[in-house]
Amino acid sequence: MDISRRAGGNFLIRALALALFAAGLLGAVSCTSEEDGGDGGASPGVSDTEIVLGTHFPLSQHLAAAYSPIATAGMKGYFDYINAQGGVHGRKIRLIVEDDHYTPSDTAEVVRKLVEQDKVFAVIGGLGTATHSAAANFLVERGVPDMFVLSGAAKFTDPVVKTRFGGNPDYITEGKILGQYIAKEHPDAKVALILQNDDFGADGERGIREGIEGSGVEIVAREAYESLETDLTSHVQRARNEGADLLVAYTLPPQGANVAKVAREVLNWDVPIVVTGVDATDIFISLAGAENAEGVISVVFGKQAYQTDDPGIQKHAEIMKTYGGGAEPSNLTILGQAMGELMVEALQKAGRDLTRDKLIEATESIRGFRCTICLVPVNFSDSDHRPFEVEVYVKVEGGKWVEFGEPVGFESTPE
């Protein structure tokens, strides 16, 4: 497994996003290209013994590098575990991880390298909305399967692009789930939104507004910040000055943790805080401090690393110890393994005679697949490339994200 370091966050996330593709390009295009062996030849990245996959992740030079264990331990470790069992239909999976520094221009460069030089069969789990936007069009043009994008931006799955599948719950659906919680538990709340100033924040805001529609909840402030900002003290202060009595943060974990810390420590403000699932990570609690994070609400689709009585988590810990470079199990390594399990399921269904077209068809046929460390199933179809449309509420209690209530969501593809 190659990890190339060129000079991987709201489960945190969360820069320039490219414009949406032209309407014709966003249609249901065929994933067959000249490189895909449309005349019966072999697909790039596939040999008798190997399947080559690639991804782009921030490994350095940005706060989002905190997400790197998703790829370097979670995905990598799970693929190595599968390889030790004989691989998929007799082929070992080799993952190439390229460092894009969470910078769109670098993402475009390294993804082109993965396709043109490394000849990858598919890209899996590319992290970030603005970053992946810089490469998404290129992958479509080249017919390269763009599997399980680690961004919840709705533009990656709506409308459907034949060769692309989401990896995260989309932020609009997630926002609706969180908005419904606010409307039910805080029916007269005056909400301040603290949002990353890109598609991530905009989609989250849209979902929150849809979720509270028809309730007595009022949005009294909207504070946007740029992705490289780390101190949001002034944003939280303005939210309080506008009369907010509940904060919603669509941020990466460092900024989300800063919001909680500023509210609790600087302003001595015991305001309810709701955060995107991107922030539902160990990193958020560590940076905010357990006391400051206490009571924060979010949503998840995966199990928690501390649930060591769970067989899936026990196995995950074994995989990380043996194949994940000894990485400590966390929300991030769990997310990486979840993406790895989903990829292996698609490859298994595609069969030994592997092509890019067959991978896409196999992925669209997945119904009711629940990975060993997931709380909810994944359902795809030819008209639905969104993975997790159901999530579970969590609350920080005693320094841990603790599940409560029943799964909530808007599943559009029946099992």
Does residue 1 carry a pLDDT above 90? no
Rounded-to-integer distance, Cα 103 and Cα 97, Å: 15
Rounded-to-integer distance, Cα 21 and Cα 214, Å: 34
Tokens of 14: 């969360």
Q: Which CATH architecture has domain 2-169+309-390?
A: 3-Layer(aba) Sandwich (3.40)
Q: Please report which confidence band the pLDDT of residue 101 belongs to, taking 50, 70 and 90 as the band edges.
A: very high
Q: Output Rg (C-alpha) for the chain, integer angstroms.
A: 20
What's the whole-number mean pLDDT along residues 391-403? 97
List, for residues 129-148, the tens digit of each pLDDT value.
Answer: 999 999 999 999 999 999 99
Helix (H, G, I), strand (E, B) or coil at 74: helix
List, for residues 370-383, the tens digit of each pLDDT value.
Answer: 999 999 999 999 99
Nearest to 137 by CA among 106, 158, 163: 163
pLDDT of res. 114: 98
Class of domain 172-302+394-409: alpha beta
List, for residues 179-234, the tens digit of each pLDDT value.
Answer: 999 999 999 999 999 999 999 999 999 999 999 999 999 999 999 999 889 999 99
Q: Are 2-169+309-390 and 172-302+394-409 the same fold in CATH?
A: yes
Q: What is the pTM of this model?
A: 0.86
Per-chain mean pLDDT for the chain: 90
pLDDT of res. 143: 98
What's the whole-number mean pLDDT along residues 41-59? 93
Nearest to 132 by CA among 117, 144, 121: 144
Does residue 410 carry a pLDDT above 60? yes
Buried b (16+ CB within 10 A) or exposed e, 302-320: bbbbeeeeeebbeebbebb
Does residue 397 carry a pLDDT above 70? yes
Query: Which tops the pLDDT comparison, 32 or 54?
Result: 54
Does residue 128 carry a pLDDT above 80? yes
Domain ranges (residues) in the chain = 2-169+309-390, 172-302+394-409
List, for residues 282-309, the tens digit of each pLDDT value.
Answer: 999 999 999 999 999 999 999 999 999 9
